[in-house]
Amino acid sequence: MKKTQEYIESNKDKFLNELVDLLRIPSVSTDKAYAGDVLKAANFIREKLASAGADNTEVCETGGYPIVYGDKIIDPALPTILVYGHYDVQPADPLELWDSPPFEPVVKDGLVIARGAADDKGQMYMHIKAFESMMKTDTLPCNVKFMIEGEEEIGSDSLEPFMEANKEKLAADVVLVSDTAMISNEAPSITVGLRGLSYVEVEVTGPNRDLHSGIYGGGVANPINILSSMIASLQDENGRITIPGFYDDVEDLSDSDRHNLNQAPFSLEEYKSDLEINAEKGEAGYTTLERTSIRPTLDVNGIWGGYTAPGAKTVLPSKANAKISMRLVPHQSSDKITELFQKHFESIAPDYVKVKVTPHHGGEPAVTPTDSTAYKAAEMAMEEAFGKKPIPMRGGGSIPIVTYFERILGLKTILMGFGLDSNKIHSPNENYGLFNYYKGIETIPLFFKNFADLSKR
């Protein structure tokens, strides 16, 4: 282990420079204009895997963006860790809110600032560098396979058929993912649950064309006004979602689980001052920690219609649209919630408008065990690296493929993320701490070692 850590220590600059090169590639998966760059990022990863010492490296074609594969099987009798990550990123918009261009990484104040720095290029690349460090010092204690995809931010559509078709190739003992956050650098944590997602787009249509708001105003329904009140009705004064059946399958945590969850270090004052809000808001009867992890949500992610360009145009629009996300918790089903939403939304539409609900990608919630060998290995690795036992914690975000690992490959996942909520993922000025990048590279070989050792017994 000492040799591995020495190799990491003496290659810090090289590790950072390579990450910066990767961050320069604008691999935005949702926008076809960047298709060439997404492929460039895939090739970059394959090349780095190969030079780190992986065998069978391959940019695997799919119906969408490719999946990068590579492995090192030192002994088929030893356990195998399947590392998953993603090389695609969210769009950088709104560009004007960035202090430096999103794809021209800046290293400043202990942070690397760029789109994808924490989600997930920085976190995924730690695994390649940790692997290189074990390979170059002859300390790899078990087998490893890498599966790095390019469609995570758009729903991982190609990953499911890829796993179905490659069960043998991907056979392993556990999946290791770094794509989540910790409570803080002083309070390391391991994510043991993620929310699911149901995402819909709605369109409300009033008159068949845009109208003069003076000539027709007052005589017909305005679809923006109607959409606004329909959306407002989806939550009651207690912050409860009003869709019938929405809470039917929601897992209710025991009082002691809720108590434990609320022991995590969290300051509501800091939370509010960080976000510059006077007061928090959420479902009555639950704390902010609970509202953002074990409770489901409904939020408008975007809303548009009518005239929004500079100046004023007196127009009564024909259409209004919104994109709505619902975060789901254990036992809720994404398809069922989408269906309930659609039925309810159509049923509350007044006669004078037509509504259309279009489902987008979704995903199921996930809970990962804390009583497994792999969890123990992760817990020990983090304790060694941070000098503090990590706290198991439910996260509010979604990584839908965690449930595919279980269903298709029969594997449990370890969500050993090193990000922080302050990383601004999906937002302007996304960043990743150099402390976290190097700490992750140090912790991963410890996980490998512990997992190999504990599996022997």
Q: Which residues bind ligand BES (CB under 6 A)?
A: 119-120, 152-153, 155, 179-181, 194, 197, 361, 363, 395, 397-400, 425
148 binding partner (options ligand BES, Mn ion, none; Cβ < 5 to 8 Å by kind) = none
Handedness of CA 186, 190, 196, 199 (dihedral sign): positive
Q: Quick one: 191 or 321, whose CB is closer to Mn ion?
A: 191
Both structure tokens of 101: 């261009």
Q: Which residue has the tokens 């004023």?
A: 312
> Nearest distance from residue 441's CB to ligand BES, in Å?
19
C-alpha 102/C-alpha 265 separation (Å) is 32
According to the binding rule CB under 5 A, does residue 364 interact with Mn ion? no
3 state DSSP class of 290: helix
**Other beta carbons within 10 Å of 44:** 20
H or E stretch including 191?
Answer: strand 189-194
408 binding partner (options Mn ion, ligand BES, none; Cβ < 5 to 8 Å by kind) = none
Q: Quick one: 305 or 395, whose CB is closer to ligand BES?
A: 395
Q: In the set 18, 179, 364, 442, which binds Mn ion (CB under 5 A)?
A: 179
> Nearest distance from residue 364's CB to ligand BES, in Å?
11
> Nearest distance from residue 403's CB to Mn ion, in Å?
16
C-alpha 67/C-alpha 401 separation (Å) is 14
Helix (DSSP H) and strand (DSSP E) numbers for the chain: 13, 18
The residue whose Cβ lies closest to ligand BES is: 397
DSSP 31-51: -GGGHHHHHHHHHHHHHHHHH
81 binding partner (options Mn ion, ligand BES, none; Cβ < 5 to 8 Å by kind) = none
CA dihedral 290, 296, 300, 301 (to 10 degrees): 80
Contact 318, 224 (CB under 8 A): no
> Nearest distance from residue 122's CB to Mn ion, in Å?
11
330 binding partner (options Mn ion, ligand BES, none; Cβ < 5 to 8 Å by kind) = none
> Nearest distance from residue 190's CB to ligand BES, in Å?
12
> Nearest distance from residue 258's CB to ligand BES, in Å?
20
C-alpha 334/C-alpha 27 separation (Å) is 28
**Other beta carbons within 10 Å of 262:** 13
> Nearest distance from residue 231's CB to ligand BES, in Å?
20
First-last CA distance in the chain = 20
Q: Which stretch binds Mn ion (CB under 5 A): 61-69, 70-78, 164-172, 179-187?
A: 179-187
Question: What mask of x and - would describe binding to Mn ion in positions 108 to 147, judged by CB under 5 A?
Answer: -----------xx---------------------------
Q: Quick one: 100 or 301, whose CB is closer to ligand BES?
A: 301
C-alpha 362/C-alpha 364 separation (Å) is 7
**Residue ranges that bind Mn ion, judged by CB under 5 A:** 119-120, 179
